[in-house]
Chains A and B, each alone.
Chain A
Amino acid sequence: MGITISVEVNGTTYEREVEPRTLLVHFLREELRLTGTNVGCETSLCGACTVHLDGLAVKSCTQLAVQADGAKITTIEGLADNGSLHPMQQAFWDEHGLQCGYCTPGMIMAATKLVEDNPDASEDDIRHGLKGNLCRCTGYQNIVKAVASAAKAGGAR
């Protein structure tokens, strides 16, 4: 039995019928074709699927699409502004905060929220704040550098 939900994703409102068991990450990727959000561990450990849901950074693999009915969601595709990168994206570019890139969308979504909530985040705050995001290339040094540099530059925007 399908349920009709309405969500605002990256500023656009979508109304869709979904099966209750559809996970938010699959809804975003397969229904809305927003494939920037990655599926990693599928068990709420790795953070590759991190999106913003009503102002919170959450793991979209551990949320049903029906739970998000009425919510405002931002995915990695919603960060850039008219083709110019979000300061956090730019910082990841500048500091080479990625290797294979698989964790990057989730890292950036978690990091933007982290810096928004705590513009003066110290290195320690950044490391603790990114505890829910794993980089299997172990490229953490540059990731932390990138987030720190974005924070310094007022990266929350």
Chain B
Amino acid sequence: MIPGSFDYHAPTSLDDALALLTEHGGDAKILAGGHSLIPAMRFRLAVPEVLVDIGRIPDLEYIREEDGHLAVGGMTREVALEDSDLVNAKYPLLADTARVIADPLVRNLATVGGNLAHADPANDHPATMLAYGASVVARGPNGSRTIAIDDFFVDLFESALESNEILTEIRIPTPPAHGGGAYLKMERKVGDYAVSAVAVQLVLDGGTVSSARIGLTNVNPVPMRAKNAEAELVGKAATDDVLEAAGRAAAGECDPSGDLRGSAEYKRDVTRILTKRAIRKAVERAKGGN
């Protein structure tokens, strides 16, 4: 299980990296943390002719708040999210997510940008970023553009990024007071992809959920928002009946396929339950229980 041959470039500036991507077009792949790409190359599921390693470009690893959002550099390692006091204090949904991605050794190298750009519905950050209503900054030869996360996931393993664009930053709106979120994942064993996982980010107004976004992991061919579940929740108090209705809506609108992790039916039911639990936890956090 050795990857196929490729030409390797390790540019030290974004401009050089973009020039390489433009020159090689669809034959090139971007190498970030490598924890999705290298296994895919070993299985020969990916056979790029050229690798552009963006790991030596400075200033792509950071976590900071600015202008009402959390800015996360594309090359930020998962472990940095886990260790960040800011993330743990104000972005519990993100902190929850980082802790359940693969295992600690993988998280030392795997990147947030790579997790999103791979556009794998089994990855964990897509659902979380959908729930946050995040946006993604893509740098191309003609400058940067911002892509709303709702427009980012196009198809299985296909994002809105052009072949000569690099995901440089993720922007997560800072939750308002009385905002809360949670990520709950069920996995068969450590390091496995989710059977199902649910990301919830909501805002409470008194006893009422005034807004909510819900993202689902690994129960649809494309990372998805559970919009019907959101609709069951918004404008209501999070009573047991409302939670059940939201859970049922999420189970109904996802489209899992049966595999080693369980039948489609089973995955729908896990999704129903995780949706309820994640909403409950998000509500508790919004009330300040954390």
Contacts and interface: CB of A to CB of B under 8 A. Distances in A.
The answer to whether A and B come from one shared complex is: yes
Interface of A: 1, 3, 19-21, 23, 26, 42-45, 47, 50, 56-59, 62-64, 66-67, 69, 110, 128-129, 131-133
Contact of A19 (B5, B42, B51, B109): B5
Given A23-B2, A131-B190, A132-B103, A66 B8 contact: yes
A62 B7 contact: no
Contacts of A44: 35, 38-39, 102, 106
A21 B6 contact: yes
Given A20-B6, A21-B3, A56 B190 contact: no
A57 B10 CA distance: 23
A128 B34 CA distance: 23
Contacts of B260: none
A128 B41 CA distance: 29
Given A21-B4, A62-B109, A64-B34, 19 more contacts: A3-B8, A20-B8, A21-B5, A26-B2, A43-B43, A44-B102, A47-B103, A50-B105, A58-B109, A62-B35, A62-B106, A66-B8, A67-B10, A67-B31, A67-B34, A131-B103, A132-B102, A132-B190, A132-B191
Nearest to B107: A132
Given A1-B7, A20-B51, A131-B190, A63 B108 contact: no
A132 B192 CA distance: 11
Given A43-B39, A62-B39, A57 B108 contact: yes
Interface of B: 1-8, 10, 31, 34-35, 38-39, 41-43, 51, 53, 55, 79, 102-106, 108-109, 190-191
Contacts of B4: 21
A102 B8 CA distance: 32
A56 B5 CA distance: 28
A103 B144 CA distance: 46
B125 to A, nearest CB: 17
Contact of B105 (A21, A42, A58): A58
B115 to A, nearest CB: 14
Nearest to B33: A62
Contacts of B8: 3, 20, 64, 66
A67 B33 CA distance: 10
A2 to B, nearest CB: 10
A11 to B, nearest CB: 22
A60 B1 CA distance: 14
B159 to A, nearest CB: 22
A128 to B, nearest CB: 8
Contacts of A20: 5-8, 51
